[in-house]
Structures are given as C-alpha cells and as structure tokens.
Amino acid sequence: MSITRRQLAASLRACTHVADREAIARFLLDPATEASLNPFRETSAGAQRSIWAGQAFEFRSSRTEALGLACLLRALYTLPAGEPLVQELFGVGPYRAAIYHLGDGCQLIGAVLHGRGPMTLPVFNTLTQRRTARRSPPTPSRQLDLFAFVGLG
C-alpha cells in the first residue's frame, strides 16, 4: 500500500505528541520535497531507538538542528524493541525527514526533520493561501473621552 505525502502530513498534523508536527508537515508538502531512497523501509522500534539515540549525540556535537527528535525518542522508548515499524524518508537539498508509522500511514510514532551540519532549518511555506484582511474605513470611537470633561480634549 502506497502512502502519499499528503496522507502522511495529515496524519502528522493529528499527532499531538509531536511538538514540531506543523513544521515537519509543511516540509512534507513542499513541492520540492521528494521521497528518498529507502533500502530499510521495514524496521523495528529497537533498531530506530539505537540509531536515533546515536544521531542525537551526533547532532549535539555537530550543532545540527533537528525538529521532532526528542518526541521521537520518547515514543520509541515506550514501544517494545521488537515492535515493527515502517520508515518513510523524504528530502530536498541538505534537509531530510524520517517519518515512522505502524504500517498504515495513520498511526504515526514520530518524525524527525534535520539538516546537515550547523545550518538552520528553513521555514517552509504552507500550501494553504491565507486571505488578507480588508481594511474597513475607520469608525468613530464609542469610548467615552474623559479628557473632554476636564477641558484637555
């Protein structure tokens, strides 16, 4: 079963345990983001726990910014080591995202977005267009002018 980026982003936005879910979802929905080569798509919670604990150390020492890493590690430590997971990898330029779910794309465990080295992560635009507020002509204030009573207004 193939899961689209849009489906993963929607599932991620529903995951309240992922603090940076909106930024990671915007990365997934960015038109430049593409699925990455993933030879180990099927994995386990124990394997990913070990990998991301090591990555957390590497990221700290290399000052690599990562979103969602602490939330992912917390989620992985609550699962049995043998729990099967599916890993979805995405990237654009020097930025990578890893999304983990139980196989259906709906029950997300966590997600991480990171760059390479000490670079800041970009701000990805949302795809929803925002309506600009129309300015209405100023209306006279209905507030009582206290200074008018003492002759200062």
Q: Where are the domains of the chain?
A: 5-118
Higher-scoring residue by pLDDT: 149, 93: 93
pLDDT digit string (tens) for 73-114? 999 999 999 999 999 999 999 999 999 999 887 899 999 999
Contact (Cβ atoms closer than 8 angstroms) between residue 122 and residue 95: yes
pTM > 0.85: yes or no:
no
Whether 136 has a pLDDT exceeding 60, the answer reads no
Whether 63 has a pLDDT exceeding 50, the answer reads yes
Q: What is the pLDDT of residue 25?
A: 96
Q: What is the pLDDT of residue 122?
A: 75
Helices 21-29/5-13 angle, 10° precision: 170
Q: What is the pLDDT of residue 129?
A: 39
Collapse the DSSP code of 88 into the 3-class scheme (helix H, G, I; strand E, B; otherwise coil) and give the result.
Answer: strand
Whether 2 has a pLDDT exceeding 90, the answer reads no
DSSP code, position 41: -
pLDDT digit string (tens) for 110-132? 999 999 877 788 776 544 434 44
